[in-house]
Structure 1
């Protein structure tokens, strides 16, 4: 209830009381059915059909996931798909970015003067500090005159400006660092129409390097164009209440980022988990273009095949074969239980259909009936089945 109220407040800012009252009333109205033994899945299905919202979001995210996987290169590297969660807004405000995107880091004065849009920029990735700071540990300096102190101060400034000048001379227009970039450096870059951001998380820095190329440098003594990344477009944009940096048209690898919108954090986190599963399924289907019917169709066909083979075996071993064949029926049986369907009736129909040679006959939980799942586009990658059966065989041997 708390999460529902938070989601309502984050999305529209009003109606938190009414949404809790409505949700409580729905649960109250459904309680007698649960007490009478009605399967919860039947109630969930009815409520889902009535709202219609879930199916719209499912189609929306299905297209987004397929587009995201299609952006990747032939090796389909999973680390090139990033998922960023942005609180606020509606789920249908989520978007697919054809590149790398991450939240704007903390910035100092002068950042507002820096350009926020570049075409074909060079990107410098650093793991060094670009700011003046006092030494705290194991530091000792003995000075006898004011001139000595001034020389130390001048040397510190000189070292910083030398680093900044080398970065500028390399041709970089965008400077990202895992460590802080101070106000002096921020202003210096702004005066030269350069963009900088410090305290970038290591994960985001690694993704930019993998997508744009270049190297993460721990020194700028020999920085040049060969160690810089490249992209077609860089820009900064407001997303919800946060600012995000975007790298599109990355030179080294095809990358993308899913920006998820939503109210409560728990709701967005659940969406993220669902999207991760969907991405893995699409990725597996694309890497292994062989698919089979889902809904227990393959398991029932294997069960039929093993039963037929068992009839040719003499002796008590035939019982073991039949027991092994029955074990495959647990998959469609469990699907029926989860969906609140009569498992006994469905299994009998499945056995009959498979005995007639309908190898793709499986459970269709939407129609609550047996159907041709291959024609109904209820598919699973064949590699998933192969690995599953191999693991089960190894486990029991």
Structure 2
């Protein structure tokens, strides 16, 4: 980039010559286009009648899904503004577990509406201030229309709403029962740690054969076939310490001059292993889960003592075993004592389809549980798992917050109606931005109707008129009728909508405040032209560099 120096004809270069730049309205148009294209990509997956995407990576692996965050993670996105919207989806997934498509679609529509206002010469700062005020008001309206409920029936409805349209229709009710039972079981003081619910996905059966295990399922087998396969009244030891002789950490060498010395050295190693195993036996444990390795000789001695053992168990599984059995992890084998042992009514090994698992069951009030999830094929089972993970997230959010809202586009229409009334109280150009925010929210019911093959304009008109009487009136995409969603059992956690509106507004605001894109191609990163073409085709060109 060059600049003339005071009319003397000399150019001053402040950036490398291979740096490309977009300024002002061109930069905004480029970013807005990227956001709009990304939102359009996932928009067709929204709702119970949403379509799926097939994603094929460079290795030929296939993912078939309509889960917004999965689609965005799998896509190889190059455009920086589009990457910012992907972060919106990831945040939504981490915070709530569902509503990722909703958040991205709203963000894309906010950018689209802002583009129209920019064309009318309304400054980006005015638009962002209007959007900020609108978002704050939207969250107030959301609080007003929220319903206080967290009983089991409500939780079941929340779970079924989250799973509708995600390949789980046949088994929505049994799966919802499993999910609600699991979440209620791991709840502690009104908080739910989703990591304490472990999902073991196994193909080769119908989804109806899924089950909850009142304990933990470990994706491991016994380390020695001569070990007992089924242990009643299990006393469980958890070890971080390896049951093997450690290698020397220095370059020291041991010089042996006689065969008897070699024999003594081997016997000493064996004695060390035997001492370790004796410590485990002395603790009273009959089941051992070790996070590190277990020596072959130790396996032999453990099997002789009638102890079932598994090695190289994942840290996350060890933590769940702590929660389920009441065991304490011993970081040193010398510290292992009977007080550290966990309790379980039964520990056994079982083969399901082509996977061998260890079941730790009949635990007393376990705060970690497992769900065995079945599916006819690998891809079906994977999509069901994504649906179940979403449902666990929304049920957990409902348990923690105790508040829900109606589904079927009802809250978006109610908030849009409230925002339009609020806009009338604002003077100046910010009023136009608040109105644009309200209209942007209507993209959700409009998209639900389009994806169901309904007339979106008729659906919006019907929704607006019915909302005059109740904020719970939403669109039944299966019949095309506008019904009371609270009565129909289509409900979602308030947190899903709250997070989606807040994230979308903040992302749109951040993108609209950018008026200069400087990209260096010498760093190996693509130029804005390449980003526009490769990442988000048709996202606008770049002016030539000076």
The TM-score with structure 2 as length reference comes to 0.58
Write the deviation string for residues 269-297 of structure 1: whole angstroms up to 9, x where unpaired.
Answer: 11111110111111111212111111111
CA distance in 1: counterparts of 2:177 and 2:304, whole angstroms: 43
Q: Which moved more, 1:181-190 or 1:141-150?
A: 181-190
Cα shift at 1:160: 0.8
After TM superposition, list the pairs within 5 Å mapping 1:230-379 onto structure 2.
230-250=343-363, 253-311=366-424, 318-355=431-468, 357-379=469-491
Mean alpha-carbon deviation: is it higher for 382-391 or for 314-323?
314-323
Query: Take 1:130 and 1:312, find their aligned partners in 2: how far apart are those partners?
Result: 72
Is 1:95 the equivalent of 2:95? no
Question: Which of residues 205, 208, 232 in structure 2 aligns to 1:118?
Answer: 232
Query: 1:83 is matched with which residue: 199, 204, 209?
Result: 199
Q: Is the 8 Å Cα contact of residues 321 and 368 (structure 2) preserved in structure 1? A: no
**3-state SS of the aligned residue for 1:374?**
helix
Structure 2 unaligned regions, length at least 5: 1-53, 55-166, 510-546
Aligned match of 2:298: 185
Give the structure 2 partner of residue 41 of structure 1.
none
- 1:295·1:373 contact (CA, 8 Å) conserved in 2? yes
Equivalent position to 1:380, from 478, 492, 496: 492
Q: Does 1:64 align with 2:202?
A: no
Partner of 2:187: 73
Q: 1:228 aligns with which of 341, 349, 357?
A: 341
Q: Shift in Å at residue 58 of structure 1?
A: 2.2
Question: Conserved in 1, the CA contact under 8 Å of 2:375 and 2:384?
Answer: no
The 2-side partners of 1:97 and 1:379 are apart by 27
Correspondent of 2:267 among 128, 142, 154: 154
Give the whole-Å Cα distance in 1 for the aligned partners of 2:366 and 2:426: 56
Q: In the TM superposition, what whole-angstrom CA distance separates every residue of 1:110-139 from its partner, at most 9, and x where no partner exists?
A: x334252221x3211223443579879836
Q: 1:332 to 1:293 in 2, by over 3 A?
A: same
Measure, in 1, the Cα distance between the counterparts of 2:494 and 2:327.
38
| Structure 1 residues 315 and 92: CA distance shift in structure 2, 3 A | closer
Corresponding residue for residue 36 of structure 2: none
Other-structure match for 2:58: none
Instruction: Name the SS of the counterpart of 2:487 in structure 1.
Output: coil
User: 8 Å contact 1:85–1:260 — kept in the other structure?
Assistant: yes
Q: CA deviation at 1:379?
A: 0.7
Cα shift at 1:54: 5.5
Q: CA RMSD in A?
A: 2.8
Contact 1:233 1:249 in 2 (8 A): yes
How far, CA to CA, are the matches of 1:85 and 1:283 in structure 2? 21
Closer, same or farther: CA 244–55 of 1 in aligned 2, 3 Å? same
Displacement of 1:395 after TM fit? 4.5
The answer (yes or no) to whether the contact 2:174–2:208 under 8 Å persists in 1 is yes
Which structure 2 residues correspond to residues 199-218 of structure 1 after superposition, within 5 A? 199-218=312-331
Partner Cα distance (2:455, 2:402) in 1: 34
Distance 1:155 1:284, change over 3 A: same
Query: What is the rounded CA distance, in whole Å, between the counterparts of 1:162 and 1:267 in structure 2?
Result: 49
| More relative contact order, 1 or 2 (CA 8 Å, 6+ apart) | 2
Give me the whole-angstrom Cα distance separating, in 1, the residues matched to 2:383 and 2:473: 32
Aligned length: 343
Residue 152 of structure 1 deviates from its aligned partner by 1.0
Q: Which runs of 5+ in 1 are unaligned?
A: 2-52
Q: Secondary structure at the match of 1:301?
A: helix
Offset at residue 164 of structure 1 (A): 0.7
* Contact 2:291–2:318 (CA under 8 A) maintained in structure 1: yes
SS of alignment partner, residue 375 of structure 1: helix
Q: Which residue of 2 aligns with 1:172?
A: 285
3-state DSSP of counterpart to 1:221: helix
Pair 1:372–1:134, CA change in 2 (3 A): closer
Contact 1:290 1:382 in 2 (8 A): yes
C-alpha distance in structure 1 between counterparts of 2:216 and 2:287, whole Å: 14
Partner of 1:35: none
How far residue 241 of structure 1 moved from its aligned partner, in angstroms, is 3.0
* 2-structure distance, mates of 1:330, 1:341: 14
Aligned partners of 1:129, 1:321: CA distance in 2, in Å?
Answer: 62
Greater mean alpha carbon deviation, residues 246-255 or residues 231-240: 246-255
Runs of 4+ in structure 1 deviating by more than 6 angstroms, as ranges, are 132-137
